[in-house]
Structure formats: structure tokens, C-alpha cells
A and B are shown apart, each in its own frame.
Chain A
Amino acid sequence: MSKSLVDVPPMGGFSFDLCRRNDMLAKKGVNPPSFRKTGTTIVGIVFQDGVILGADTRATEGPIVCDKNCEKIHYMAPNIYCCGAGTAADTEAVTDMVSSQLQLHRYHTGRESRVITALTLLKKHLFNYQGYVSAALVLGGVDCTGPHLHTIYPHGSTDTLPFATMGSGSLAAMAIFESKYREGLNRDEGIKLVCEAICSGVFNDLGSGSNVDVCVITKRGSN
């Protein structure tokens, strides 16, 4: 206790001082709590002018829905957004942290952020924690090199794809994409396809539900 009083403000990063006590409790048969997961369907596609990201809005705590309208599409940069699935605290913390790092980088370089920068920062952090930071992300954005869409797994591996899905509803959404996706979709067709994929996740997966959030990113701006 005295050591932490000296440490104000804290140095940043994780603090492990309660681990020993928690392990002792676990040995005595007292189980740790379940964390809030986002049991989700998140998707992204590349269309002719940019990238469209979509997500459902249900947050679960075990079998109970604790938030009927939570935001899973996180802001990273004016031209980059990221959807998160997995443990809610991890996705929020990791995307907030990388968003601040990108802002500092923009001040340093005086240029618009690139999607590949966000990707590298995220995968470095997740690999560092060997999958214990349980965040599965779909990262999408448009920069000077064009539109990009990536998926990032909790252990730090990444894929670059024209269409991607993650979360517990990912199989249902991927089925829609595999049958209906084609290159060079226009904005309305793209939005319709993303909504269909999320709805498929919402109806067929118990962990996804409530509303659908859609984010369209183009060279001109995001909304």
C-alpha cells in the first residue's frame, strides 16, 4: 500500500499487485467474475469509394444483456475507424490508446494517419500480451494510398481482405458476404450488403442483437 502511495500519478501500463491475492482466492474456490463481452457481429467491406464498417449494438454479461445500445465502432482517426469484438474493456482501452498514439504521430509528422500505422500499433500491443488482451478488431480506413480493410486477432496476427467479419456472429455474416459480395459496389449497395450481413448475425447468433451501426469512410470524409 505504501509503495503505491508514492507512485502518484501512476506510471501507466498494467499493475499486477492484486494478482497474488486473487490467485489465493481462486485456490480457495472463489471464482473470478466474468467480464463484459461484446458477443458480437462486426463486419467491413471495401467498396468503390472507400470502406464501410458495420456492427451490432448488444453487450452481454454472461447470459444477460447489459447494454442494448453500445457503440462498437470506435474512432481512431478522422479517416480510420475500428470495430471491436471480445472483452469490452480490452477493445475500448486498446482502441483509445492507439487513437491517442495516432494523434501524437499526426502532430509529430504533420500528415494524415495511415491505416497501416494503426494496424502496426495495434498488432504490436496485442502480440506483446500474447492474447491475454482479448480484443478481435476489424480496422478500416481510407488514406493517401487508398482504402484498406484489415482484421486483427487477439494474439496479434492480421489479415488484409476485401471483406471481413469477426465476433460470435461472424459465420452468419460471412455467409452473406461470400454469396453476395462483388468488387466495385457503390455506396448504397455497400450499405445494404453490410446491413444484411449484420442482420444475419443478429437473427442467427444469440450474442448479437439490438440495432445496427454503420460507418462509411471515403476520401472526402466519414459518417
Chain B
Amino acid sequence: MSIFEYNGSALIAMVGKNCFAIASDRRLGVQLQTIATDFQRIYKFHDRLFMGLSGLATDAQTLYQRLVFRHKLYQLREERDMKPETFASLVSALLYEKRFGPYFCQPVIAGLSDENKPFICTMDSIGAKELAKDFVVAGTASESLYGACEAVFKPDMEPEELFETVSQALLSSVDRDCLSGWGGHIYVVTPTEIKERILKGRMD
């Protein structure tokens, strides 16, 4: 059994027109037993930067706490928020530092960079960055997520259409994975507002 299949997770981030959406499932399990149905995987660092962490839940929480620490220090020193590209490099460096004893997490980073251009990226557990222009996925359901996103993605979607697309892709993929599911948590972020919604899916 792989360490990534201990807790189970599903994460997507997708790019739209001057906006992005980041979504996760809500199940926390210990192998096949579900122990929570409202687990938070997506964290907000500032109004224009979100990160989701899939994989082992304990490492995800530890990594999140370290990153919040580093980001707050950065805000104090630089008196501004961190750009998503810089944040992605920070996460990559933190993960590569543990190259021979890694954190068992795969982060998905989504943010709005200069001129409100959406930025998404994912990494493997040792920090190999993968920048994409359309969508990135992570988690135990990643194989179905790749297929679902590839099928429904269109470039330059408006926020409402993006929300529908990401919800459909997430819910249909987690239905094919025992270890993730129990609904969805989705953030659609535009330069002016952040819309957070809970999705109700098959509760199994």
C-alpha cells in the first residue's frame, strides 16, 4: 500500500479567464475507514494565493504550518504579499530540502499573479514543479481527474462556467475512487472576489 493511499485525497486547480478555481474532496480516512467528512485540504495564504495539499494528512498539516510561518515572515520583511511564482519556488525548495526523507505530500498551488493573470502549478513530493496553463490535479483520484479535466476543459471560461466545469470533473472522478469523496469544497477566485462553495455529492 502506498503512503499516499493512507488518507486519500483529490485536488484540482483550473484556469479560467482572469480567474481560477481550486477544489478538493472532503473525506479524511484511515485506509478504508472514514473518520471525518469535513476535512480542509485547501488553505488561503492571502486573497490571491491558495494552496491545496494532498497525500498524508499529518504531513500536509505540518507543511502548511511551516509555510504559513515563512509567508508571515516574508510579509513582515517585505511589507507585501508573496507572488504565486515566488511561493511555488519556496514550496519547491522546502520539499527538495527533504529529498532523502520527504514529506508525503503533493501540493497544488493556485494564485493570481501580476495583471490578474491566473497561475497554477503542482509538484511531486520532492518539489519538481509542473507549471500548466490549463489544469493541474493531485491525489489518489488523479488518474480519473486527468481524464475528466482533459475532456471538459475549455480555455478562457468565465467564473460561473469554470465553477460548473470543475465541480463536474471533481465529483465524477471521486465517484470512481474509494478513498476520496464525501462532497467537495471549491473556491472560485477572481481579482475582485473569492467565492467559496460546498458541493454535495454521493456520500459514500
A22, B104: Cα distance in complex, Å: 9
Q: Is A22 within 8 A of B101, CB to CB?
A: yes
Q: Is A29 within 8 A of B1, CB to CB?
A: yes
Q: Is B97 within 8 A of A33, CB to CB?
A: no
Interface presence of B153 (CB below 8 A): no
A21, B101: Cα distance in complex, Å: 8
**Interchain nearest-CB distance for A120 vs B (Å):** 22
Task: From the candidates B6, B73, B92, B100, name the one contacting A14 in the complex (CB within 8 A).
Answer: B100
Number of chain B residues whose Cβ lies closer than 8 Å to a Cβ of chain A: 32
When C-beta atoms are compared, the residue in chain B nearest to A64 turns out to be B143
- Report B-chain residues with C-beta under 8 Å of the C-beta of A189: none
Chain A, interface size category, equals 20 to 34
Interface residue stretch chosen among B125-133, B159-167, B169-177: B125-133
- Report B-chain residues with C-beta under 8 Å of the C-beta of A92: 92, 128-129
- Report B-chain residues with C-beta under 8 Å of the C-beta of A35: 124-126, 128
**Interchain nearest-CB distance for B134 vs A (Å):** 10
Within 8 A of B (CB), among A30-56: 30-33, 35-36
**Interchain nearest-CB distance for B93 vs A (Å):** 9
A115, B20: Cα distance in complex, Å: 42
**Interchain nearest-CB distance for A7 vs B (Å):** 11
Interface presence of A188 (CB below 8 A): no
Interface presence of B24 (CB below 8 A): no
Interface presence of B187 (CB below 8 A): no
Q: Is B130 within 8 A of A36, CB to CB?
A: yes
- Report A-chain residues with C-beta under 8 Å of the C-beta of B132: 67
A19, B190: Cα distance in complex, Å: 41
- Report B-chain residues with C-beta under 8 Å of the C-beta of A22: 101-102
**Interchain nearest-CB distance for B13 vs A (Å):** 14
When C-beta atoms are compared, the residue in chain B nearest to A38 turns out to be B128
Q: Is A16 within 8 A of B127, CB to CB?
A: no
- Report B-chain residues with C-beta under 8 Å of the C-beta of A110: none
Interface presence of B45 (CB below 8 A): no
A87, B101: Cα distance in complex, Å: 15
Q: Is B4 within 8 A of A33, CB to CB?
A: yes
Q: Is A18 within 8 A of B98, CB to CB?
A: yes
Residues of chain A whose beta carbon lies under 8 Å from any beta carbon of chain B: 8, 10, 13-22, 25, 29-33, 35-36, 59, 61, 64, 66-67, 70, 87-90, 92-93, 132-133
Kindly list 13 other residue pairs between chains A and B, CB separation below 8 angstroms, not including A92-B92, A92-B128. Answer: A14-B97, A16-B100, A19-B100, A35-B124, A59-B130, A64-B142, A64-B146, A66-B146, A87-B126, A88-B124, A88-B128, A89-B95, A89-B124
